[in-house]
């Protein structure tokens, strides 16, 4: 049986919107942090490779700016291979306590080795070892395989600086569409789409 929830917390009008969608996102993102939304930086990344089969998974946003939205992953993973074949992707944030959703789409580019190195070096040691230990998205026979691999790299890099694996890279989604969705009652939700047209952002209201 489905759950029919009414959204009644807030409304969104065009007068509320900032002309720059990145600044609008930043405003909502900070609202989510202040509202104690669990993992406000979590988002669903959807990709599609040569076979046009869509795959989605939850990641964590590491930074955002006028340049785009940054995340890091294993280039040999399913999403990494998809992005190599087709760099168009979309990400979706859902902040339940605020009854808000943000959808963002555009091409994804690989960040420089320098930037990937800097972020990798800032990660906890355990996370660095995990990047070496896991052949992400590959089939393994048991958890023991994963744990033994972790122990191997833990020993290999004992009392040493752990280098970034070549396949572990940073990515940035450069937005061409950003949609802000505010839940309203009776399914008459407020939706506004920012579209990049001739290097300028155009705002339009969408029917829910």
Catalytic positions, written as ranges: 187
- CB distance 142 to 193 below 8 Å: no
DSSP conformation letters of 95-156: EGGGTEEEEEEEEEEEPPHHHHHHHHHHS-HHHHHHHHH--TT---S-HHHHHHHHHHHHHH
Which token pair is 85? 């074949």
Give the CA-trace dihedral at 129, 130, 133, 135, to 10 degrees.
-140
CA distance 179 to 99: 14
> What size, in residues, is the chain?
208
Listed in sequence order, the DSSP H helices in the chain are 21-34, 78-85, 113-122, 125-133, 143-156
């Amino acid at each position: 049986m489905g759950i029919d929830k009414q959204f009644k917390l807030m409304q969104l009008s065009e007068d509320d919107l900032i002309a720059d969608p990145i600044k609008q996102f930043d405003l909502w993102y900070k609202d989510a942090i202040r509202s104690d939304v669990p993992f406000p930086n979590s988002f669903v990344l959807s990709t599609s490779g040569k076979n046009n089969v869509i795959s989605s998974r939850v990641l964590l946003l590491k930074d955002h700016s006028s340049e785009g939205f940054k995340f890091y992953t294993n280039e040999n993973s399913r999403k990494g291979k998809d992005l190599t074949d087709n760099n168009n992707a979309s990400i979706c944030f859902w902040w339940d306590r605020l009854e808000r959703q943000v959808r963002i789409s555009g091409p994804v580019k690989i960040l420089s080795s320098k930037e990937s190195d800097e972020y990798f070096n800032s990660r906890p040691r355990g996370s660095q070892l995990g990047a070496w230990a896991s052949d992400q998205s590959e089939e393994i026979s048991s958890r023991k395989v994963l744990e033994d691999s972790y122990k191997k790299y833990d020993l290999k890099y004992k009392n040493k600086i752990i280098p970034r694996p070549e396949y572990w890279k940073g990515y940035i989604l450069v937005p061409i569409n950003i949609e802000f969705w505010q839940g309203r009652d009776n399914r008459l939700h407020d939706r506004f789409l920012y579209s990049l047209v001739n290097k300028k952002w155009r705002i339009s209201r969408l029917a829910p």
